Amino acid sequence: MFTKIFVPINNHYGYLKKLECFKLETQFTQNYTSPLPPEMESINHKRAVWNINLGNNKICRMRNEFGCIDDKFYIVHVDALKFYYYWLVSSIYLDDQHRSNHCILRKDMPNDYKFKHAIDGFSISEHNPVPLAFVSARFERGNPYIGFTNGVTRTMWLLANGARSFPIEVRDKESAKHLYEFAGIGEPPITYQELRNKFNVKVPYYESREFLESLYNET
């Protein structure tokens, strides 16, 4: 699913972004093969960890955090290049160019003023995996929209370093569905609770909701 970009461009950078979108569309229509989803490295009652393959044949690691509302949060595995495309498209249509929804060209991402923080974080990700980005996706005025609650810089780092796919955290079912339609790969969106159930991950009783509620009732 791609979009026809008819929006007027009133600045040179917007024109360059539009050209980038056209180049990506051409690439997607020329025997493009979607990447495989990232491999899960480990999972326990606190978190899951994924290995992310980068363009330099290196690997970084990212993680989620399980909690009390795991039935509300979803994991969506995305094709990095298609995610970049739809993020670009959505930022072309938006009047609001806030950093959380304004996608710059991939070649310019290393110049972002926060990029060094992502370099530092991913440099130790083998032992301290980087948290997943938190994203929302929908249609606005008939056009695709991708926006960030958290994780803009780490996503820029992934794109700039040639990651082919990566997992993203999404808050609700509709948003997860749209993101998967835009750029998803592998299995459809799955809640954190479903992910834990899939791997038979049990929460220790002393960390369970029932135990915490029993403590509260005793006070």
Cα gap 150→172, rounded to integer Å: 15
Q: What is the pLDDT of residue 211?
A: 73
At 61, the amino acid letter reads: R
Q: What is the pLDDT of residue 101?
A: 78
Q: What is the pLDDT of residue 108?
A: 98
CA 172 to chain centre: 14
Q: Which residues of 143-174 are buried (b: 16+ CB within 10 A; e: fewer)?
A: ebbbbbeebbbbbbbbbbbebbbbbbbbeeee
Cα gap 106→157, rounded to integer Å: 9
pLDDT tens, residue by residue, 93-111: 766 667 777 899 999 999 9
User: Is the CB of residue 160 less than 8 Å from the CB of residue 55?
Assistant: no
User: Is the CB of residue 54 less than 8 Å from the CB of residue 60?
Assistant: yes
Q: Is the pLDDT of residue 7 over 60?
A: no
* Domain boundary assignment for the chain: 12-206
Q: What is the pLDDT of residue 96?
A: 61
Nearest to 63 by CA among 79, 37, 44, 84: 44
The reported pTM is 0.90
pLDDT tens, residue by residue, 99-158: 777 899 999 999 999 999 999 999 999 999 999 999 999 998 888 999 999 999 999 999
Question: Where do we find the tokens 């595995």?
Answer: 77
